[in-house]
């Protein structure tokens, strides 16, 4: 029994030191891994920020371009009928949207949803107003009615989406 106590007297402190050493090394390695992950995320964020800002810029430009005020100025009515003009406006919006489709990768899901909603609302308004106008009337009549409707709405959906994206990007910088 005396031998057992003598062995225990030397092995217990050694086992305790081994356990403490293991715990300290484990804690150190966990902290080191967390530090490396933090530095990696920081570097990725630093490199990704310019690309994300560019995506927000491009989508803001898209939203500005499809706002009826600027869309109707950029796409002249010329001597088209209202039906032809509606088709031209919708094609312009679709082409602009497809050109910026890849930007959804760089922005938040909520921001992309706002962009898609604003685009859909614009298309919907153009279709609604177009259905109220005779297809063979001059395109200027359709243009005038779209502008009148836009003024009645107050805050157009594209403006809401732009405001949302500005707020979101400010919180990230």
How would DSSP label each residue in 103-116?
GGGTS-HHHHHHHH
Domain range for 91: 49-172
Task: Flag whether 24 is in a domain.
Answer: no
CB contact at 8 A, 72 and 92: no
Task: Flag whether 19 is in a domain.
Answer: no
Task: Flag whether 150 is in a domain.
Answer: yes
Task: Flag whether 40 is in a domain.
Answer: no
Task: Flag whether 28 is in a domain.
Answer: no
Does this model's pTM top 0.85? Answer: no
State the total domains in the chain. 1
**CA–CA distance, 77 with 88 (Å, rounded to integer):** 9
Task: Flag whether 27 is in a domain.
Answer: no
Query: DSSP 3-state assignment of 134?
Result: coil
Q: What is the pLDDT of residues 63-110, one digit of tens each?
A: 999 999 899 999 988 889 999 999 999 999 999 999 999 999 999 999
Task: Flag whether 23 is in a domain.
Answer: no
Q: What is the pLDDT of residues 27-50, one digit of tens each?
A: 999 999 999 999 888 887 788 788
């Amino acid at each position: 029994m005396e031998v057992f106590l003598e062995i225990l007297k030397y092995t217990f402190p050694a086992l305790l030191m081994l356990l403490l050493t293991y715990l300290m090394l484990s804690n150190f390695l966990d902290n080191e891994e967390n530090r490396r992950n933090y530095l990696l995320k920081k570097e990725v964020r630093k490199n990704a920020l310019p690309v994300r800002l560019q995506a927000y810029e491009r989508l803001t430009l898209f939203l500005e371009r499809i706002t009826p005020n600027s869309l109707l100025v950029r796409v002249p009515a010329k001597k088209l009928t209202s039906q032809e003009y509606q088709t031209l406006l919708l094609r312009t919006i679709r082409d602009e949207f497809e050109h910026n489709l890849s930007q959804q990768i760089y922005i938040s899901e909520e921001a992309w949803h706002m962009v898609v909603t604003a685009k859909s609302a614009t298309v919907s308004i153009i279709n609604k107003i177009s259905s109220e106008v005779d297809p063979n009337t001059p395109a200027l009549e359709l243009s005038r009615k779209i502008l009148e409707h836009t003024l009645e709405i107050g805050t157009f959906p594209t403006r809401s989406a732009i405001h949302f994206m500005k707020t979101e990007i400010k919180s990230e910088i």
